[in-house]
């Protein structure tokens, strides 16, 4: 090959290299550069290369572990609860919970049969609280209908500021609250003026003058009177006692070298420059 032919071959090689695009970088290793396939059938190796990349991408998506149905329903119910009764369709549910349920009839059926869900049709759902209240006035109007009181946790399902409104009603003494025996949640009652009984000042002073005994004396007096301790209180007392014992428990180490049992390496350490002991 003469010099002129060599230069022509070299220029064609450079033009070919410049015409090839570099693949763009991506964080997904499965999305690699796929060479173009000619309309006339193309190279068989290129077709095999393209099919490999596509199958890798599909395999990565199929390996994503899907959440159980009960977890998906729980996430959706929790989301609908925040909407305070406003319906949401499957697209809005997907945007907020990342659960695509439009093509999952089993999930849609679970939502329709859930007692905490209202089905509005056309795959639109909303949360169904136990009490339909939205304001402090609604709470005050509701309480007289429940002589046994209402759990604050159940009332909180109605709207997001329910617990805050209950706190305000307690501070203004428009309602009363006691702790439930089964849980630490409050049970609220109305402050009905009709139920107030007038008492003499002498009886009030007598009530205030009574001093409550400590826990140990109270338990002993109850047992002497034939009264049993409430199970939850007894359990709490035992838990507290066990915790205190664990805090007081000291670590016990077995000393094998008895001749240095009382030896402390920090005692009588001579300072630099001092005379030896």
- The whole-number pLDDT of residue 151 equals 93
Radius of gyration of the chain (CA): 38
Using an 8 Å Cβ cutoff, are 188 and 176 in contact? yes
- Whole-number Cα distances in Å, 220 to 226, 234, 235, 252: 10, 13, 16, 35
Residue with tokens 């190796």: 45
- Whole-number Cα distances in Å, 20 to 24, 26, 35, 115, 147: 12, 19, 10, 62, 82
Using an 8 Å Cβ cutoff, are 80 and 128 in contact? no
pLDDT tens track, the chain, 277 positions: 565 666 677 677 777 766 665 555 444 444 444 444 444 444 544 444 444 434 444 444 445 577 899 999 999 999 999 998 899 999 999 999 999 999 999 999 999 999 999 999 999 999 999 999 999 999 999 999 998 899 999 999 999 999 999 999 999 999 999 887 777 789 999 988 777 788 899 999 999 998 888 888 888 888 888 887 765 555 555 665 666 666 555 555 555 555 555 555 555 544 444 444 4
Query: What is d(CA 190, CA 166) in angstroms, rounded to the nearest whole number?
Result: 11
What are the residues facing 86 on neighbouring strands? Answer: none
CA torsion, ordered 197, 203, 205, 210, to nearest 10 deg: -110
Pick the closest to residue 125 from 66, 73, 68 (CA basis).
Answer: 73
- Total-model pTM: 0.50
pLDDT digits (tens, 9 = 90+) for 37-74: 444 444 544 444 444 434 444 444 445 577 899 999 99
Say whether 55 sits in a helix, a strand or coil. helix
Q: Find how far residue 80's CA is from the centre of its chain.
A: 16
Query: What is d(CA 72, CA 94) in angstroms, rounded to the nearest whole number?
Result: 11
């Amino acid at each position: 090959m003469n010099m002129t032919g060599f230069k022509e071959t070299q220029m064609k090689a450079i033009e070919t290299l410049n015409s090839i695009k570099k693949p763009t970088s991506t964080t997904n290793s499965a999305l690699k550069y796929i060479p173009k396939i000619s309309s006339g059938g193309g190279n068989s190796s290129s077709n095999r290369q393209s099919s490999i990349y596509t199958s890798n991408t599909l395999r990565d998506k199929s390996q994503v572990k899907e959440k159980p149905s009960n977890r998906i329903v729980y996430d959706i119910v929790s989301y609908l609860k925040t909407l305070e009764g406003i319906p949401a369709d499957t697209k809005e549910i997907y945007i907020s919970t990342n659960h695509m349920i439009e093509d999952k009839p089993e999930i849609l059926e679970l939502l329709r049969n859930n007692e905490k869900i209202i089905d509005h049709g056309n795959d639109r759902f909303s949360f169904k609280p136990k009490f339909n209240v939205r304001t402090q006035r609604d709470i005050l109007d509701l309480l007289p209908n429940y002589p046994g009181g209402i759990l604050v946790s159940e009332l909180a399902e109605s709207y997001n500021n329910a617990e805050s409104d209950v706190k305000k009603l307690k501070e203004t003494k428009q309602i009363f609250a006691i702790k439930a025996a089964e849980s630490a949640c409050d049970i609220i009652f109305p402050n009905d003026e009709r139920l107030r009984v007038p008492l003499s000042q002498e009886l009030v002073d007598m009530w205030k003058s009574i001093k409550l005994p400590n826990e140990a004396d109270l338990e002993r007096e109850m047992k002497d009177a034939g009264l049993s301790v409430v199970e939850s209180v007894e359990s709490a007392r035992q838990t507290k006692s066990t915790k205190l014992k664990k805090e007081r428990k000291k670590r016990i180490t077995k000393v094998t070298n008895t001749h240095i049992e009382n030896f402390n390496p920090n005692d009588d350490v001579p300072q630099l420059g001092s005379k030896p002991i």
